[in-house]
Structure 1
Amino acid sequence: MAALDFCLTGLAAGKTLPERLRAERRKRSMSLRDAAEKTGLSPTTIASLERGGGSVASLLRLLAVIAPNARRRAPERSYWGQGDKEDRDIRFTPVDFMANIYAAFGEIDLDPCGHPLSPVIARRRILPSDGGDGLVDDWSGKVAFVNPPYSQLLRWLRHAHDQWRAGKVETVVCLVPVRTDSAWFHQTLSADADIYLLQGRVRFLDIRGKSQQTPFSLMVLTLGATPEQKDCYAELVPGFWLTRSVTAASGAHRASPAIVRQPLWTVAPQ
């Protein structure tokens, strides 16, 4: 059972599934013998389940008695699950969300993921409809705002980081899903990026003008943002910054090898 990789709702709180099973049984004032009589399992089997052992069949029999309303929680997606295949990645950042971006980081010089219908106000937009490609064309300006196609998230973050490290833009502000599992993210990007975990979900507009809430959590990831900009954003938008516990070495957009190997964040005091 320890190999199972899913979460359940409708169970007592706890850090692990075995711990939650034990807490749920005790919450119902059941001894191991009581639970065994009701489930048809042996006390030894139930004790094994509460230590992380046992079989799925035994787990289901135990849940039917101690937590009949328990359900598997669907895994959180980091992609849009609705829309036609060709436009599934086209979601527009809400006007009210962008108002806080402008207020904290200033006017946007570049939108490399531009779309003719996007409400993002930028001095320059790279539009695929005009033959542009934000993954190929050079970036420029003081502030770039990036709300990339989430199906190509890692590719866009790599390019944004490369353009920033090359000095093409001073500050990059990305609105992206909380997806931090790649080795590249931990070994390279996290040495330079500051992350703001947003409270709640953001409602985007699809290409048909329909409002849709994200089925995943989002973060604002910045490269080159100043402390003043970050403080201003935190005052405007619910959430908190994960502040890097190490600082980059001297030199524009450079991190020491030690930082690249050991990128860590700590929760910024509120």
Structure 2
Amino acid sequence: MIDLFPLVAQAGPNALPYFDPVLPDRELVLYSARPTVWHPGLPVLFVHHGVGRNGQDYRDYWLPHADANGMLVIAIEFPQAGFPEYLCYNFGNLHAIDGTPNPRKLWTFGIGPRLFDTLRGQGVTSTERYGLFGHSAGGQYVHRMLSFGYRDRVAVAVSANAGTYAMPDMSIDWPWGLGATDVTTDDLRRLLGFPLTLMAGTEDTKTSGRFFPKGVKSMKQGPTRYARAHTYLRTAQDAAAALHVPLQWRVIDVPGVGHDGRRMSDAAAPVIIPLLRARVMEPPSAVTPDI
């Protein structure tokens, strides 16, 4: 088992190669930001990078917030070598490249929850739950991860500037919806009851970049990333109304910001930090209502 205490060896930035126990042949890298004054009871936030696979940059975006607010931030980097393209990262490794379904135990959505359990097991943290922030491809990863139930220990989650969404609609097939998966109607009810925050830069409207999803099914979600975040919320509102359950999701528009990981991180910090600090000590039922 990998010793995770190097992540808190010194104040400021730390880094550590990491191998998930279920996927031991694929190297990840953990980039941590430890506050000057640290103890295991402080909140933990996992950060998910975009398509650039630049975990170090995203850790650095959160360095000042970690120190100023007394929390441990860990950016989990998924290198292309072990987690190629969107199938293994954005889409969680649900399917092989030929479309063959992978068993759930191989889904990469389980990496963060297992990492948190190991942090707890080694005494790096004594908290009961953690926070999630993902931007761009990381925003895709975060909301899809939550959609498949990987949220037992998640206190607060923010998906920012995602390029496409798995709409909470069983009539739309994966990965643009939750159809053709093992998600049930009861699962969907529980997902809609989870407090998910979407963040959308009002200037995230450029469509000329090579990483902007332009396929027919992606364009049905909206002409821009900004529009697609609002489509995702509207779809959830419709689903919640049809299922007669309260919806706990929201969209926060970030004025004047485009597809910018640093600025979206800065905008997310005052949203995440107070909720994370308040919820890490709450019982599970107070955070993830079972509807």
The structure that has the greater radius of gyration is 1
Question: TM-score, length-normalised on structure 1?
Answer: 0.27
Richer in strand (by share): 1
